[in-house]
Amino acid sequence: MTRPDIGVFGSGAWGTALAITWAKAGANVALWGPFPEEMALLAAERCHPRLRQAPFPEGLRTSDDPTAALSAPLWISAMPTQVSPAAWAGLRPQASVAPDCLIHVSKGILQSTRQTLSQALTGVLDLPVGALSGPSFADEVSIGVPTAIVLALPTIVAEERARALQAQLSSERLRIYLSRDVVGTELCGALKNVLAIAAGLVDGLGLGYNARAALITRGLAEMARLVEVLGGQSATVMGLAGMGDLLLTATGPQSRNRTFGELVGKGATVAAARDALGGQVVEGMFTTEAALELARAHGLDLPIATEVQRLLNGESPTEAVRRLMTRSLKSE
């Protein structure tokens, strides 16, 4: 294989779906994952076990050796949020030459530091870090269902380079909009998972579409308050990274976070609901406490996130709904 155009780090469904998309569009893509047995299986079957309808294109190569991916002029980080800083601390010294920026596609807030990934990885890598986010299920992206997402890059990345990256990562079926609001894009992607758990709870309790619509709408207001106080833009909240991703994750059947909330609403324990998802990461479980800590530090009230945290602590789903519905009356 010639030198790859793109190195994707993280062989979960989302990173692999993007790697497939870019390889279909003609790029040479190196996909790295840390587990030898898993990567050997991907290499042998030329297919991801969760993306069976999307065989790997010729331009996609997989390996548990990061050498090829690190040689690419563009790095895409697709590892789970909580492990990404430590993983990159180990990967970065193995690269003889680094690209001019890194783009991550993970969603969440670090539990240990309450940072977004761009904030944490910029220090680890000594590189500008951007984020690719928006309403996108991996299975649909992998088979070419039309999708629109946002590429948020810091202002240190020159406009010409930003436009070049936008063009490089776009394809006929993956439309990418450019933003400079990195922290807002990241926070929207993290918070929508918390709200999706709450939406799943409403579905699991059988409370109907009226309740779910109210939950999503008021959840968007919570998202906006936290994003804006932490330096993000209101336009981001109302765009693909915010409202778009929230609508998808709070209603789509493929959503792990919504499904987790639905299972708990139907009576499963938190542990049982998590086990039912077969080891898939439920990002909202890790993000809820971090989001509430950030809110408290800025004097904000996030009632829906608060009830999700109580739910994760084992409190009654019906009590969570009762508390939300009997809060003191307010203006919208």
Rounded CA separation 82/112 (Å): 8
Residue 26 reports pLDDT greater than 90: yes
Rounded CA separation 274/93 (Å): 35
147-152/174-179 β-pairing: parallel
Q: Which long-range contacts (CB under 8 A, 24 or more apart) does 68-71 make?
A: 68/1, 68/4, 68/7, 68/30, 68/32, 69/4, 69/7, 69/8, 69/9, 69/30, 69/31, 69/32, 70/7, 70/94, 70/95, 71/3, 71/4, 71/7, 71/30, 71/95, 71/97
Q: Do the Cβ atoms of 292 and 302 come closer than 8 Å?
A: yes
Residue ranges of domains in the chain, CATH in brackets: 6-180 (3.40.50.720), 184-325 (1.10.1040.10)
75-77/60-63 β-pairing: unpaired
Query: Given this model, what pLDDT does residue 330 score?
Result: 78
Residue 287 reports pLDDT greater than 70: yes
Query: Given this model, what pLDDT does residue 329 score?
Result: 64
Residue 1 reports pLDDT greater than 60: no
Lowest mean pLDDT among 190-199, 235-244, 276-285: 276-285
| pLDDT one-digit tens code per residue, 32-52 | 999 999 999 999 999 999 999
Specify whether 330 is catalytic: no
Indicate which residue of 107, 192, 266, 330 is catalytic.
192
Residue 9 reports pLDDT greater than 60: yes
- According to DSSP, the residues that pair with 30 across neighbouring strands are 7, 61
Predicted TM-score (pTM) of the model is: 0.95
Query: Given this model, what pLDDT does residue 322 score?
Result: 85
| pLDDT one-digit tens code per residue, 125-138 | 999 999 999 999 99
> Within a 10 A sphere around the Cβ of 137, how many other Cβ atoms?
18
The gap between the terminal CA atoms of the chain, to the nearest Å, is: 57
Lowest mean pLDDT among 19-23, 42-46, 266-270, 326-330: 326-330
Q: Which residue has the tokens 């994952």?
A: 33
In this prediction, residue 328 has a pLDDT band, given cuts at 50, 70 and 90, of confident
| pLDDT one-digit tens code per residue, 296-308 | 999 999 999 999 9
Query: Given this model, what pLDDT does residue 285 score?
Result: 93
| pLDDT one-digit tens code per residue, 149-181 | 999 999 999 999 999 999 999 999 999 999 999
In this prediction, residue 21 has a pLDDT band, given cuts at 50, 70 and 90, of very high
Across 224-228, average pLDDT:
97
| Residue 300 DSSP one-character state | -
Mean pLDDT for the chain overall: 95
Classified as helix, coil or strand, 299 is coil
Fill in the amino acid letter for 68: A
| pLDDT one-digit tens code per residue, 258-267 | 999 999 999 9
